[in-house]
Every structure is written in C-alpha cells, then in structure tokens.
Amino acid sequence: MTDTARTVIIRDTGGPDVFQIEDRPVGDPDRGEVRIAHKACGLNYIDVYHRSGVYPLDLPHGIGMEASGVIEAVGEGVTHLKVGDRAAYASNPPGAYCAARVMPAAQVCPLPDAISFEEGAAMMLQGMTVEYLFHRTVPLKAGDTVLMHAAAGGVGLIACQWAKSEGITLIGTAGSDAKCQLALDHGATHMINYEDEDFVGRVRELTNGRGVDVVMDAVGKDTFEGSLDCLRPVGMMISFGNASGVVPPVDLGMLGKKGSLQITRPTLFSHIADHVVCQEMAQHLFDKVASGAVTINIGQSYPLDKVAEAHRDLEARKTTGSTILTL
C-alpha cells in the first residue's frame, strides 16, 4: 500500500485533452469510508458530462464514477466490508480514474468471486441503471414492450439480455447494421438501424400501430420528440441521458395531446443513495450475471494513460458494449 496513486484529474472543462495524470496522496479512511486499490475502472457517458462541464464540478477534480478492486483499509462504522474483500461500485463522488482512493463505503458493494474485476468495473453503473429502469421506474412484466435507444451500448446490451430473461419485448435502435446484429445477438427482439429507417414509423409497424409501453432514452435531444411519438396512450417516457445534447424545455400540454403520456428524468444516484437499496440493486444485478441471464460485454479496454483516446472513441460512437480502463 503506497501513499500516492496515479490519478486522472481535470483543472479545466473541455475536450479529452484536459485530462492530466498525476501521483496524488491517498490517505486513510475516516468513519464510514474505505480505501480501495483499483484493478479496473469503468468508462461511462456521465464522465463526458463531468469533463465537458455539462454537469459542473468544483475544479480541480477527479473523474470517473465506477471501479472494482480490493479493500485496503476500513474506517470506523463500516460493517459490510473488510480488508481484503473484493469490491465494486458506481457512486459519487467522481474520482474513480485512479489506482487507489478513499471514498464513502455505503455504495461500495462486495463483489462475488464468480465475477471478474474487469466485469465488476464494467457492469455496476450500467447494470444498476438497467435494474432501476426495469424494476423501479416502471415495474415491467412479461409481455410488455419497450423501446431502447443505443441498444448496442453498455446499458443497451445489458437491457437486451435483461428483457429477454423476463419475457419483455425489446425494440432497439442503433446506428449501423453491425451494432443492430450485436444487440440482436444479446436478446433484442427487433432492431432498427436509424441511419436507414425512420424509427418512429418502424416502431408503429412493429406494434401494429399501438406504440410501446415504455421508451428508455439516453440519447437525449436527437431522439426525444420521436420517442414520444412511439408511445402508446398513457405510456412512459424515461429520459435518462443526454448523449446527443440536453433535451429542450417540454410543453406539458403536448403530453396530453399525444395521449396523456408520462415522462420522468431519473438518475441512478437517487436510487442508490440509500445504502440498503444500493446493496439490493447490486445483488439483483450480481444474480442476473451469476445465473448466466446477463453477460457483460466489454467491447474495448484502454490503459489509464490512454483515457483521452477512450473518451474520443466514446463520443464518436465508436464503442460497443462496456468500456474499461486498466491499471
């Protein structure tokens, strides 16, 4: 255990070139905290929002919300983890792009031996997002139909498998035939290449004009209005990301005209703020993976010092599945 750790920080917001890698002090955990030595870190679109300033941070600041590793020290009052435990997390505060850190323990979860550190780093944020989308935002049941944008991404590929495991029809969108096939291979019922087809018309065709029960949309501005037009009356629009830009203000009267539609903008961090709920959600995810119902697709891996390249590829939509940074 060293006193310093390689750490990615930003001192200004902007493009991937703002990243700096430094050796920074780690310290010891206080009450309710743990020190964790990372084996791998997860890369997610929220990291882009932090880096670019869409979600402001007090600078300078670390980046990254997700990692896996081994517990090196435990602060007073922490009972669910001990030194030497394998662990994984997706939680605040940002700062996961590092070799080791001290952080609040409540959202750090014991990682089962059957799940690798690489999978642990790739699955927590995206997998628990799928858990709340399917079970806590609108409890879905067998026979329901959902539209999932970016179905070949990290969240999307987990969602495809999750839907199949529960008898839910998932219609997905992606930007190439290869990405569409990847999502189909992971359990999507139907896929739409939005470069070739109007996804609204195709969804209506696939649902015999009815529309879907739920839309799960992390793309944001570019797909928002079309997503509303894919819903059945009284359907639910779940807007949970802004990959193409922030959704503009919504005229609530429009929701009535389109069929008394419902809309919500949830975040994972609201759901996992409670320690017990967080651990329950993680265990549900671990059970899905351990049973074989969900396989974590790590589409690409970059060493920590290639973090700028990883962000460029993510923003250019060159990635599929989950992305990790290795140490």
Q: What per-residue confidence (pLDDT) applies to 278?
A: 97
| Amino acid found at 118 | E
For residue 166, give the amino acid letter.
E
Q: Can you give the pLDDT at residue 73? A: 97
- pLDDT confidence of residue 185: 96
Domains of the chain in start order, with CATH, are: 4-124+269-326 (3.90.180.10), 142-265 (3.40.50.720)
- For residue 37, the model assigns a pLDDT of 97
The reported pLDDT for the residue numbered 127 is 95
CA 266 to chain centre: 12
Q: What pTM value is reported for the model?
A: 0.90
Q: pLDDT tens digits for 71-109?
A: 999 999 999 999 999 999 999 999 999 999 999 999 999
Bridge partners, 4 (sequence order): 25
User: Which residues in the chain come in under a pLDDT of 70?
Assistant: none
pLDDT recorded at residue 247: 81
CB of 186 closer than 8 Å to CB of 161: yes
pLDDT value of position 219: 87
Residue 67 confidence (pLDDT): 98
In the block, residue with structure tokens 């970059």: 302
pLDDT of residue 291: 94
Q: How far apart are CA 172 and CA 163, in angstroms?
A: 11
Pairing state between β 212-217 and 231-239: parallel
Q: How far is CA 111 from CA 121, 133, 185, 250, in A?
A: 10, 22, 27, 41
Chain segment 118-176, per-residue pLDDT in tens: 999 999 999 999 999 999 998 899 999 999 999 998 899 999 999 999 999 999 999 99
